[in-house]
Amino acid sequence: MTATLHLPSSRQTQHVVLEGVTWQTYQALLKDLGNHRSSRLAYDQGILEIIMPSNLHEFINRLLALMVTALTDELSLKIRNCGSTTLDREDLNRGVEPDSCFYIQHVAEVLGKSRPGRPESRLHLSDDPPPDLAIEVDITSSSHRRFGIYLQLGIPEVWHYTEQSGITIFQLQAGEYVKCEFSPTFPMISGETLGQFLQLAETEDDNAVIRALRQWVRSQTQQK
């Protein structure tokens, strides 16, 4: 069953692709744009993609991120939410800003990175592990190029939302992303389950959705 969220959006996600962009230009643009912006950039060997998310895009992303945080809390797992931080590697000539990304299995290896008030302390994926989980939301544009960058960066798990298919969970296996019924990080959680809780947002506020998810997780763990 596909669970698709139907909420009004004031505008469509906007998508721009530029070719022939150097790594230096990409880095300069990141610096000029700064951190306080809604646009997300992806760079793939000279191709620069700029996405300006719609309200619906951001709502789905943020609610899924809240779900990840609630799941780690209920299951007593550590987490570092890195949001849409820039993930790039000059040696690969690639970079991306996911809708959301999280360290869960590798939290201990990145504690102290990107701390408030410490701009010199940031993630360096040439040395630091990639995030363990990324969220990618598609409303009007394809994530095909961004998935290719996630693959090159080695992000093990991606939750992918589209209006046509709802939420699909992908795991990196043998150099490619494979669809999984259940999350490798949260084995009780399927894409269908996530979609059902996301669909609650049509009639319930965010806190009510997260409370319902927490109650469901507790009921599942009590059965074991």
Q: Which of 138, 146, 167, 158 is nearest to 12 (CA)?
A: 138
> What residues contact residue 174 under an 8 Å CB cut-off, 6+ apart?
none
Q: Report yes or no on 17 lying in a domain.
A: no
- Residue 28 belongs to a domain: no
Q: What's this model's pTM, rounded to 2 decimal places? A: 0.89
Identify whether 34 is part of a domain. no
Q: Does residue 67 form part of some domain?
A: yes
| Structural domains of the chain, count | 1
In a domain, 207, yes or no: yes
| Strands, E assignment, the chain | 14-18, 40-44, 47-52, 80-81, 87-89, 94-96, 100-103, 133-138, 157-162, 166-173, 176-180
What is the domain-level CATH number for residue 121? 3.90.1570
pLDDT of residue 139: 84
**Mean pLDDT rounded to a whole number for the chain:** 89
Please give the order of strands across the beta sheet that includes 100-103. 80-81, 100-103, 133-138, 157-162, 166-173, 176-180
pLDDT on residue 63: 98
Range of the domain at 154: 54-222
How far apart are the C-alpha atoms of 46 and 24, rounded to whole Å?
Answer: 10
Domain assignment present for residue 201? The answer is: yes
Residue 147 lies in a domain: yes
Residue 35 counted as domain residue:
no
Q: Which residues of the chain have pLDDT under 50?
A: 1-10, 118-120
